[in-house]
A = this chain, B = another copy of it.
Amino acid sequence: VNTGQSLRRQPRADARRNYERLLAEADSAFREQGTGAPLDAIARSAGVAIGTLYGHFPNRRALVSALLKDRNDALFELGSGLLAAPSSGDALKTWMREAARHATAYRGLADMLAEGIGDEASELHSSCLRMSDFAVRLTARARADGVLRAEVTAADISAFISAASWTAERTSLEQAERLLELVMKGLQQPAS
Protein backbone atom coordinates (compact mmCIF):
# COMPACT_ATOMS: atom_id res chain seq x y z
CA VAL A 1 0.00 0.00 0.00
CA ASN A 2 1.14 3.47 -0.84
CA THR A 3 1.75 5.72 2.15
CA GLY A 4 4.62 7.78 0.72
CA GLN A 5 4.01 11.50 0.95
CA SER A 6 5.98 12.32 -2.18
CA LEU A 7 3.98 9.98 -4.41
CA ARG A 8 1.26 11.50 -6.51
CA ARG A 9 -2.10 10.07 -5.48
CA GLN A 10 -4.77 9.03 -7.95
CA PRO A 11 -7.33 11.75 -8.57
CA ARG A 12 -10.81 10.99 -7.37
CA ALA A 13 -12.88 9.15 -9.96
CA ASP A 14 -15.45 11.94 -10.40
CA ALA A 15 -12.69 14.51 -10.76
CA ARG A 16 -11.05 12.52 -13.49
CA ARG A 17 -14.36 12.08 -15.30
CA ASN A 18 -15.10 15.80 -15.08
CA TYR A 19 -11.67 16.59 -16.42
CA GLU A 20 -12.20 14.37 -19.44
CA ARG A 21 -15.69 15.68 -20.10
CA LEU A 22 -14.49 19.27 -19.91
CA LEU A 23 -11.76 18.54 -22.41
CA ALA A 24 -14.19 16.87 -24.79
CA GLU A 25 -16.69 19.72 -24.62
CA ALA A 26 -13.98 22.34 -24.93
CA ASP A 27 -12.62 20.63 -28.02
CA SER A 28 -16.02 20.64 -29.62
CA ALA A 29 -16.72 24.26 -28.66
CA PHE A 30 -13.32 25.49 -29.84
CA ARG A 31 -13.71 23.61 -33.12
CA GLU A 32 -17.05 25.23 -33.76
CA GLN A 33 -16.54 28.71 -32.35
CA GLY A 34 -12.80 29.14 -32.10
CA THR A 35 -10.65 29.45 -29.01
CA GLY A 36 -12.77 32.34 -27.74
CA ALA A 37 -15.83 30.19 -27.11
CA PRO A 38 -17.60 31.02 -23.78
CA LEU A 39 -16.31 28.88 -20.95
CA ASP A 40 -19.56 28.77 -19.00
CA ALA A 41 -21.27 27.00 -21.89
CA ILE A 42 -18.45 24.44 -21.94
CA ALA A 43 -18.92 23.78 -18.23
CA ARG A 44 -22.67 23.45 -18.70
CA SER A 45 -22.28 20.99 -21.59
CA ALA A 46 -19.91 18.96 -19.46
CA GLY A 47 -22.52 18.89 -16.71
CA VAL A 48 -20.41 20.70 -14.11
CA ALA A 49 -20.47 24.12 -12.48
CA ILE A 50 -18.21 26.85 -13.78
CA GLY A 51 -16.07 26.64 -10.65
CA THR A 52 -15.22 23.05 -11.49
CA LEU A 53 -13.86 24.11 -14.86
CA TYR A 54 -11.64 26.67 -13.16
CA GLY A 55 -10.60 24.08 -10.63
CA HIS A 56 -9.18 21.93 -13.39
CA PHE A 57 -8.00 24.67 -15.74
CA PRO A 58 -6.98 28.03 -14.27
CA ASN A 59 -7.62 29.81 -17.57
CA ARG A 60 -8.42 29.41 -21.24
CA ARG A 61 -4.80 28.81 -22.20
CA ALA A 62 -4.52 25.86 -19.83
CA LEU A 63 -7.52 24.30 -21.54
CA VAL A 64 -6.06 24.86 -24.99
CA SER A 65 -2.69 23.59 -23.88
CA ALA A 66 -4.18 20.36 -22.52
CA LEU A 67 -6.14 19.85 -25.75
CA LEU A 68 -3.00 20.33 -27.82
CA LYS A 69 -0.90 17.86 -25.91
CA ASP A 70 -1.31 14.85 -28.23
CA ARG A 71 -1.02 16.98 -31.33
CA ASN A 72 2.14 18.55 -29.96
CA ASP A 73 3.72 15.20 -29.22
CA ALA A 74 3.04 14.05 -32.76
CA LEU A 75 4.45 17.24 -34.23
CA PHE A 76 7.64 17.09 -32.18
CA GLU A 77 8.13 13.48 -33.08
CA LEU A 78 7.84 14.45 -36.71
CA GLY A 79 10.34 17.23 -36.12
CA SER A 80 12.86 14.87 -34.58
CA GLY A 81 12.56 12.60 -37.58
CA LEU A 82 13.04 15.50 -39.96
CA LEU A 83 16.29 16.47 -38.26
CA ALA A 84 17.66 13.12 -39.43
CA ALA A 85 16.00 13.11 -42.85
CA PRO A 86 18.26 12.79 -45.88
CA SER A 87 17.17 16.00 -47.65
CA SER A 88 17.45 18.97 -45.32
CA GLY A 89 15.63 21.17 -47.81
CA ASP A 90 12.62 18.89 -48.03
CA ALA A 91 12.73 18.43 -44.26
CA LEU A 92 12.42 22.18 -43.73
CA LYS A 93 9.55 22.41 -46.19
CA THR A 94 7.71 19.54 -44.53
CA TRP A 95 8.21 21.16 -41.15
CA MET A 96 6.80 24.46 -42.35
CA ARG A 97 3.74 22.79 -43.82
CA GLU A 98 3.01 20.62 -40.79
CA ALA A 99 3.77 23.27 -38.19
CA ALA A 100 1.46 25.66 -40.00
CA ARG A 101 -1.26 23.05 -40.17
CA HIS A 102 -0.82 22.35 -36.46
CA ALA A 103 -1.93 25.87 -35.52
CA THR A 104 -5.03 25.41 -37.63
CA ALA A 105 -6.81 23.12 -35.20
CA TYR A 106 -8.96 25.95 -33.82
CA ARG A 107 -9.70 29.41 -35.13
CA GLY A 108 -7.80 31.85 -32.94
CA LEU A 109 -5.02 29.41 -32.17
CA ALA A 110 -2.47 31.14 -34.39
CA ASP A 111 -2.95 34.29 -32.33
CA MET A 112 -2.67 32.44 -29.03
CA LEU A 113 0.52 30.69 -30.09
CA ALA A 114 2.05 33.91 -31.37
CA GLU A 115 1.22 35.40 -27.99
CA GLY A 116 2.62 32.41 -26.12
CA ILE A 117 6.09 32.67 -27.55
CA GLY A 118 6.70 35.95 -25.76
CA ASP A 119 4.80 35.24 -22.55
CA GLU A 120 6.69 33.11 -20.06
CA ALA A 121 3.62 32.76 -17.88
CA SER A 122 1.62 31.25 -20.72
CA GLU A 123 0.77 27.56 -20.55
CA LEU A 124 1.59 27.50 -24.26
CA HIS A 125 5.03 29.02 -23.82
CA SER A 126 7.12 25.86 -23.64
CA SER A 127 5.58 24.26 -26.69
CA CYS A 128 6.05 27.51 -28.60
CA LEU A 129 9.70 27.48 -27.63
CA ARG A 130 10.09 23.91 -28.83
CA MET A 131 8.53 24.79 -32.16
CA SER A 132 10.85 27.72 -32.45
CA ASP A 133 13.80 25.50 -31.63
CA PHE A 134 12.92 23.08 -34.42
CA ALA A 135 12.82 25.99 -36.82
CA VAL A 136 16.29 27.02 -35.67
CA ARG A 137 17.81 23.58 -36.13
CA LEU A 138 16.10 22.70 -39.40
CA THR A 139 17.04 26.08 -40.83
CA ALA A 140 20.65 25.69 -39.76
CA ARG A 141 20.86 22.30 -41.38
CA ALA A 142 19.31 23.49 -44.65
CA ARG A 143 21.64 26.46 -44.75
CA ALA A 144 24.68 24.29 -44.07
CA ASP A 145 23.65 22.19 -47.06
CA GLY A 146 23.45 25.28 -49.22
CA VAL A 147 19.80 24.85 -50.14
CA LEU A 148 18.66 28.09 -48.50
CA ARG A 149 19.34 31.68 -49.45
CA ALA A 150 22.05 32.89 -47.11
CA GLU A 151 20.02 35.75 -45.64
CA VAL A 152 17.09 33.61 -44.53
CA THR A 153 16.94 33.33 -40.74
CA ALA A 154 15.12 30.94 -38.44
CA ALA A 155 13.01 33.92 -37.34
CA ASP A 156 11.90 34.31 -40.94
CA ILE A 157 10.89 30.66 -41.07
CA SER A 158 8.93 30.90 -37.82
CA ALA A 159 7.23 34.04 -39.03
CA PHE A 160 6.21 32.34 -42.26
CA ILE A 161 4.74 29.43 -40.36
CA SER A 162 2.69 31.68 -38.08
CA ALA A 163 1.56 33.84 -40.95
CA ALA A 164 0.47 30.79 -42.92
CA SER A 165 -1.53 29.48 -39.97
CA TRP A 166 -3.26 32.80 -39.59
CA THR A 167 -4.03 32.89 -43.30
CA ALA A 168 -5.53 29.41 -43.13
CA GLU A 169 -7.86 30.55 -40.36
CA ARG A 170 -8.96 33.67 -42.18
CA THR A 171 -9.21 32.35 -45.73
CA SER A 172 -8.60 28.67 -46.36
CA LEU A 173 -6.02 25.99 -45.84
CA GLU A 174 -5.57 25.88 -49.61
CA GLN A 175 -4.68 29.57 -49.73
CA ALA A 176 -2.23 29.10 -46.87
CA GLU A 177 -0.59 26.22 -48.66
CA ARG A 178 -0.28 28.27 -51.84
CA LEU A 179 1.45 30.92 -49.74
CA LEU A 180 3.94 28.45 -48.33
CA GLU A 181 4.50 26.92 -51.76
CA LEU A 182 5.38 30.30 -53.24
CA VAL A 183 7.50 31.23 -50.26
CA MET A 184 9.49 28.05 -50.47
CA LYS A 185 10.35 28.74 -54.08
CA GLY A 186 11.71 32.09 -52.96
CA LEU A 187 13.73 30.59 -50.14
CA GLN A 188 15.73 28.34 -52.38
CA GLN A 189 19.26 29.30 -53.17
CA PRO A 190 19.12 30.50 -56.77
CA ALA A 191 21.08 28.15 -59.03
CA SER A 192 24.51 29.66 -59.53
- A interface vs B, CB < 8 Å? 111, 114-115, 149, 152-153, 155-156, 159-160, 162-164, 166-167, 170-171, 175-176, 178-179, 182-187
Contact = CB atoms under 8 A, between A and B. Distances in A.
23 contacts: A111-B170, A114-B170, A152-B182, A153-B178, A155-B171, A155-B175, A156-B175, A156-B178, A156-B179, A159-B167, A159-B171, A159-B175, A159-B179, A162-B170, A163-B163, A163-B164, A163-B166, A163-B179, A182-B183, A182-B186, A182-B187, A184-B186, A185-B186
In this complex, which of A152, A160, A171 has the most chain B Cβ atoms within 10 angstroms of its Cβ? A171
A115 B185 CA distance: 29
Contacts of A179: 156, 159-160, 163
A22 B50 CA distance: 38
What 3 pairs across the A-B complex have the smallest Cβ distances? A186-B186, A163-B163, A114-B170
A158 to B, nearest CB: 9
Nearest to A174: B155
A114 B108 CA distance: 13
Contacts of A164: 163
Given A156-B175, A163-B179, A183-B183, 15 more contacts: A114-B170, A115-B170, A153-B178, A155-B171, A155-B175, A156-B178, A156-B182, A159-B175, A160-B179, A162-B167, A163-B163, A166-B166, A182-B186, A182-B187, A186-B187
